[in-house]
Amino acid sequence: MAVDRIFKDEANEEKGERARMASFIGAMAIADLVKTTLGPKGMDKILQSTGRGRAVTVTNDGATILKSLHIDNPAAKVLVDISKVQDDEVGDGTTSVVVLAGELLREAEKLVAAKIHPMTIISGYRMAAECARNALLHKVMDNKEDAEKFKSDLMKIAMTTLSSKILSQDKEHFAELAVDAVLRLKGSTNLESIQIIKKPGGSLKDSFLDEGFILDKKIGIGQPKRIENAKILVANTAMDTDKVKIYGARVRVDSMSRVAEIETAEKEKMKEKVQKIIAHGVNCFVNRQLIYNFPEELFADAGILAIEHADFDGIERLALVTGGEIASTFDNPESVKLGHCKLIEEIMIGEDKLIHFSGVELGQACTIVLRGASHHVLDEAERSLHDALCVLSQTVNDSRVLLGGGWPEMVMAKDVDELARKTPGKKSHAIEAFSRALVAIPTIIADNAGLDSAELVAQLRAEHQKEGCTAGIDVISGSVGDVAQLGISESFKVKQAVLLSATEAAEMILRVDEIITCAPRKRENRM
Amino acid sequence: MALAFDEFGRPFIIIKEQEQKTRLRGLDAQKANISSGKAVARILRTSLGPKGMDKMLQSPDGDVTITNDGATILEQMDVDNQIAKLMVELSRSQDYEIGDGTTGVVVLAGGLLEQAERLLERGIHPIRVAEGYEMASRIAVENLERISEKFDFGLSNIEPLVQTCMTTLSSKIVNRCKRSLAEIAVKAVLAVADLERKDVNLELIKVEGKVGGKLEDAELIYGIVVDKDMSHPQMPKKIEDAKIAILTCPFEPPKPKTKHKVDIDTVEKFQTLRVQEQKYFDDMVQKCKDVGATLVICQWGFDDEANHLLMHRNLPAVRWVGGVELELIAIATGLSCLSFSALYFICLLFIWIDSIKKFFYGSSTVFFFLYLPESNVINVFEGGRIVPRFQELTPEKLGKAGLVREKSFGTTKDRMLYIEHCANSRAVTIFVRGGNKMIVEETKRSVHDALCVARNIIRNNSIVYGGGSAEISCSIAVEAAADRYPGVEQYAIRAFADALDSIPMALAENSGLQPIETLSAVKSQQIKENNFYYGIDCNDVGTNDMREQNVFETLIGKQQQILLATQVVKMILKIDDVISPTDY
């Protein structure tokens, strides 16, 4: 009697070797996809969306590439997920983590083919990952005490991160921007308070950091264009007719004159609200919601600059920058904290008018204005800058720093290799494989730069046998160089996250011996 | 087919539209059922034990789950076959009852079915097989009782508990840091356990997960974690010695349930209405402030104006907190939790209905009654009270917490609210981190299993040794008992003994050992030395004495496995007719 179907229609099941093969291949395909973007000479990818408009994105950022892919292979989804988490958690290294996981699986596939049980490989990988982490911990540098040095560390990290992106031409300029912006945050990791405004036109070099705050809004007609020593009230309140919020209330009148009366009452109410706001003694009023024509006119009469419809983030930032609070009621003018700034004026960037707040009280937020030739360039620049900012803000909290340029991988590989030699049993094959996977990263970096990777990596390995070596790949000159002198640094936190998540993901995929796919949910055709 | 004739020779139809139905009868039906049951067991077989592999499941929406937990695999498997569904139910009931051993129970059932098939081929009637299994299962359960050991632990000596949880965790992906997770689980269970009554209410333990960080970052929080942040960005992020008002009414003007209309026809009315409206907000906030609350937790949203007023009066607030969380917060921040046996409580209710009120500190307190059927106990949480209306807010209804703080994660603006050092420290949260979504989900499941195991030990501190040793011992006992039974059942009992061997066999197979060789070696060792500690050495430690390896399982878990598996197999064997609609 043959086994009946156990599963529903279209659901299927893959077992044992086939399942493993399917997940290996899927994961490696994903890794190969982003492999060529790794390193300073990595290439970009064009992504075209299937949605309306067929929007095009040109990017080098692993997380962005993977996010936009439609993937069916479950193992590949695991990799996409780790890259996303890496992006959320530390911001950079999104490509490296996928590539490393891919390499680990590639090595694992060979071991499985050589009849080593996946569980043995996993335990070997675990030991190796632990050992690699310790190796990094031994070599890490911490310059938290020395502010000057710390800043130069940050500078180096920013430049290293940016060097693999579109901004690499002006990396010094942008690194400075990023470091400046992050240091302003004073240790908070809330990148929300760094605003990035993109304006097409000009060149990337024209981008600048503004200490004050720029709001992408226009000043109301007839209102002052320039205010010195501004007192700012930041609000979130309805400035239309101000609906009555009591449930079930409605107006029922019996004659036209009554309608007029109610209308006047409404107007009065609005006027009163405006009066209350004016009574705060402000000369600038920023509201998150719309300001209708009538109140706007009243504000203009009082010589107050009223800005409507500032988006929520803008309001929060403005509150942060100016030190005011976000108000919604206006009955007690004496206790509402007002924001202050030295000067509000309208400025022009490119062809757009923006409102610029300068001389603000608290310097916690700032604005970076990006200029560039096209939207694609700007979008990519924003992503790159975001990566740099993320890494920097994480480094400010965890100030441990490593050298870059393939140096950490070689350090780890060396220690892991030694561990492999000491470990008895089949596990040592797995540990050895782990070190090979680590070495694959500098190899790929060199390959992407069109260099002779075999030669360079061999040289690098020889160099690393010496104690206290600081050799890494110098992609620019195409040789093995001293990365400490070249000023290539990376954040320890990023490297650690790459190592641990890649191992975890590889382990997870290795443990699978069966894939069960449910029937895709039927979408009803609503058309 | 199902066609019968009455006394006049006219056919009448028993099954409607029978040409559209497929029908299997007699031995064919049994064999088909057995083979589909076996197929399900075969899927899970490789997941058994510390070296078991995981399964990757893709849901209809394309989400990926990677897991080792039998119940989860079966639940998400999209099963169509009726018998396979029975197996899914089987593992689910083990999950509800015990929480662990969900894979083992299915593998055992699979083994029993396989043996039954052979007996059927030899012409033994299915009912006799079922009866033989029933007898054998009784012998096995008794044997388990005999070989079980009592197990001492206390608040100061949690090591044995940790060891048991580690046995459970070792088969999961988290076994890299099983030690720390096991400790967390045990501490969590002990924090909420009622050792005198030997009961644990697992609802007081919340397992929260957040993607990011690493497994080692998992922590136990003596309090509650809520995935929410303060309603106004400028509210303080840290409150010490918080007095918490827990509200289920929105910070909005009241909406009476009865339909009503407020008609405005004059300017005066319009103005009074406006004043009234402002007063509402003012009153609400003032009320909270008056009773001395320093934190407001609300189930509903706030109006912009109310939000600002709260901020203005320096009263931090959290909005849109889910009902379950709200209850947990209420329990955690409340004063005490009293438990009664149900009987006693009902007596109380009937006899002293009035005095009961006085008994609990006064009049208008809201109680939480939590009835635990398995221990016949009612828990009365006279706790932080959920307040449905502002008017009912009084100082003694506020919950208390030592520290409330907001914590942000990663580079996105994810924030969570920690409520710690609560007045009633009996609600705890286990907060799990992990490299990706699947790891976090799997860790949560594993922690849940560990919690269940710890709870079971607290309920009943008898344990048996793991690693297949208990099954081998039962198999020997059943085998020996078989000869004493006259009749055909003898064969079924012997088959049962063989089926019990399927678990150690699968363990050995998954660990890369020679299954038959290893099993026979261990079995002879057990008989020779009359010692039931010997099991399969899955981790290649070098000894197969499970006592030395510290591999324990709970007695109730094991007994339940055997009983449940036998029941389901009996049920499957008794089916001799399967009628199902054809697909086309």
DSSP per-residue string spanning B125-185: -HHHHHHHHHHHHHHHHHHHHHH-B-----SS--HHHHHHHHHHHTTSGGGGGHHHHHHHH
pLDDT > 80? residue B539: no
pLDDT > 80? residue A210: no
DSSP per-residue string spanning A280-345: TT-SEEEESS-B-HHHHHHHHHTT-EEE----HHHHHHHHHHH---EES--S-TTTSPPEEEEEEE
Split at pLDDT 50, 70, 90, the class of B367 is very low
A192 vs B: CB within 8 A: yes
Split at pLDDT 50, 70, 90, the class of A246 is low
pLDDT > 70? residue B355: no
Split at pLDDT 50, 70, 90, the class of A144 is confident
Q: How far apart are CA A91 and CA A114, in angstroms?
A: 37
- List pLDDT tens digits, range A413-431: 999 999 999 988 888 999 9
pLDDT > 70? residue B584: no
Q: What is the dihedral of CA B352, B358, B362, B368, to 10 degrees?
A: -40
pLDDT > 60? residue B484: yes
β partners of residue B372: B377
> ipTM score of the complex?
0.73
What was the pLDDT predicted at A334?
A: 67
The alpha carbon of residue B568 is apart from the nearest alpha carbon of chain A, in Å, by 17
CB contact under 8 A, A88 and B211: yes
Contacts of A521 (CB under 8 A, 6+ apart): B60, B61
pLDDT > 50? residue B336: no
Residue B512 CA, distance from chain mean position: 31
CB contact under 8 A, B303 and A245: yes
A75 vs B: CB within 8 A: yes
What was the pLDDT predicted at B140?
A: 93
B261 vs A: CB within 8 A: yes
Q: What is the mean pLDDT of residues B271-286?
A: 78
Split at pLDDT 50, 70, 90, the class of B108 is very high
Nearest residue to B235 via CA among B313, B301, B296, B316: B316
The alpha carbon of residue B50 is apart from the nearest alpha carbon of chain A, in Å, by 10
Count other C-beta atoms under 10 Å from residue A286's C-beta.
30
Q: Which of A1, A89, A236 sits opposite B411 (nearest CB)?
A: A89
Split at pLDDT 50, 70, 90, the class of B334 is low
Indicate if A94 belongs to the active site: yes
CB contact under 8 A, B213 and A77: no
The alpha carbon of residue A14 is apart from the nearest alpha carbon of chain B, in Å, by 10
The alpha carbon of residue A23 is apart from the nearest alpha carbon of chain B, in Å, by 9
Q: Which of B274, B276, B409 sits opposite A269 (nearest CB)?
A: B274
CB contact under 8 A, B54 and A508: yes
pLDDT > 90? residue A105: yes
β partners of residue A57: A47
What was the pLDDT predicted at B476?
A: 92
By annotation, the residues of B acting in catalysis are 69, 102-103, 449
A contacts of B438 (beta carbons < 8 Å): 78, 81, 508
Q: Which of A254, A328, A331 sits opposite B307 (nearest CB)?
A: A328
CB contact under 8 A, B262 and A248: yes
Q: What is the mean pLDDT of residues A128-147?
A: 86
What was the pLDDT predicted at B321?
A: 82
A contacts of B303 (beta carbons < 8 Å): 245
CB contact under 8 A, B253 and A247: yes
A contacts of B79 (beta carbons < 8 Å): 6-8
C-alpha count within 13 angstroms, C-beta hemisphere, residue A76: 18
What's B385's DSSP letter?
A: P
Q: What is the mean pLDDT of residues B365-375?
A: 45
C-alpha count within 13 angstroms, C-beta hemisphere, residue A10: 8
- List pLDDT tens digits, range A500-513: 889 988 888 888 88
B274 vs A: CB within 8 A: yes
Q: Which residue has the higher pLDDT, B336 or A168?
A: A168
pLDDT > 80? residue A53: no
Q: How far apart are CA B470 and CA B263, in angstroms?
A: 78
Q: What is the mean pLDDT of residues B251-271?
A: 71
What was the pLDDT predicted at A364?
A: 64
pLDDT > 80? residue A106: yes
- List pLDDT tens digits, range A447-474: 888 888 889 889 888 988 887 788 888 8
Nearest residue to B307 via CA among B252, B255, B254: B252
- List pLDDT tens digits, range A286-335: 877 777 777 777 777 777 777 777 666 677 777 777 777 777 777 666 66
Q: How far apart are CA A343 and CA A341, in angstroms?
A: 6
CB contact under 8 A, A517 and B58: yes
Mean pLDDT, chain B, rounded, equals 79
A312 vs B: CB within 8 A: no
Cα distances (Å, whole numbers) of residue B489 to B76, B111, B132, B526: 37, 17, 4, 26
Mean pLDDT, chain A, rounded, equals 81
The alpha carbon of residue B268 is apart from the nearest alpha carbon of chain A, in Å, by 9
Q: What is the mean pLDDT of residues B541-553?
A: 81
Q: What is the mean pLDDT of residues A70-74?
A: 81
Q: Which of A13, A117, A265 sits opposite B267 (nearest CB)?
A: A265
What was the pLDDT predicted at B407?
A: 79
- Comparing alpha-carbon positions, the chain B residue that sits nearest to A273 is B274
The alpha carbon of residue B475 is apart from the nearest alpha carbon of chain A, in Å, by 29
B contacts of A517 (beta carbons < 8 Å): 57-58
β partners of residue A360: A341
CB contact under 8 A, A6 and B40: yes
A241 vs B: CB within 8 A: no
Indicate if A95 belongs to the active site: yes
- Comparing alpha-carbon positions, the chain A residue that sits nearest to B538 is A119
Q: Which of B215, B262, B266 sits opposite A250 (nearest CB)?
A: B262
Number of Cβ pairs < 8 A linking chain A and chain B: 246
B176 vs A: CB within 8 A: yes
- What are the strands, taking DSSP E only, across B383-532? 386-387, 399-409, 414-422, 428-434, 463-465
Mapping DSSP to helix (H, G, I), strand (E, B) and coil, where does residue A228 land? strand
Judge contact between A503 and A125, C-beta under 8 A.
yes
What was the pLDDT predicted at B323?
A: 77
pLDDT > 80? residue A217: no
What was the pLDDT predicted at B28?
A: 83
Nearest residue to B467 via CA among B419, B506, B521, B517: B506
- List pLDDT tens digits, range B402-417: 888 887 776 556 678 8
A contacts of B582 (beta carbons < 8 Å): none
Element (H, E) at A401: strand A400-403
CB contact under 8 A, B73 and A4: no
B311 vs A: CB within 8 A: yes
pTM: 0.79
- Comparing alpha-carbon positions, the chain A residue that sits nearest to B276 is A246
Indicate if A503 belongs to the active site: no
A78 vs B: CB within 8 A: yes
Q: Which residue has the higher pLDDT, B446 or B351?
A: B446
Q: Which of A119, A501, A518 sits opposite B60 (nearest CB)?
A: A518
Q: How far apart are CA B90 and CA B98, in angstroms?
A: 12
Which is catalytic among the residues A153, A387, A415, A417?
A387
Q: How far apart are CA A66 and CA A10, in angstroms?
A: 27
What was the pLDDT predicted at A43?
A: 84
Q: Which of B57, B253, B437 sits opposite A516 (nearest CB)?
A: B57
Q: Which residue has the higher pLDDT, A414 or B347?
A: A414
Judge contact between A364 and A184, C-beta under 8 A.
yes
Q: Which residue has the higher pLDDT, B558 or A364?
A: B558
A518 vs B: CB within 8 A: yes
What was the pLDDT predicted at B568?
A: 92
- List pLDDT tens digits, range B135-164: 999 999 999 998 888 877 777 778 878 888
Q: How far apart are CA A311 and CA A288, in angstroms?
A: 6
What was the pLDDT predicted at B110?
A: 92
What was the pLDDT predicted at B564?
A: 92
Q: Are strands B552-554 and B463-465 parallel, antiparallel or unpaired?
A: antiparallel
Q: Which of B28, B79, B262 sits opposite A246 (nearest CB)?
A: B262
Longest distance between any two alpha carbons in chain B, whole Å: 101
Q: What is the mean pLDDT of residues B511-540?
A: 86
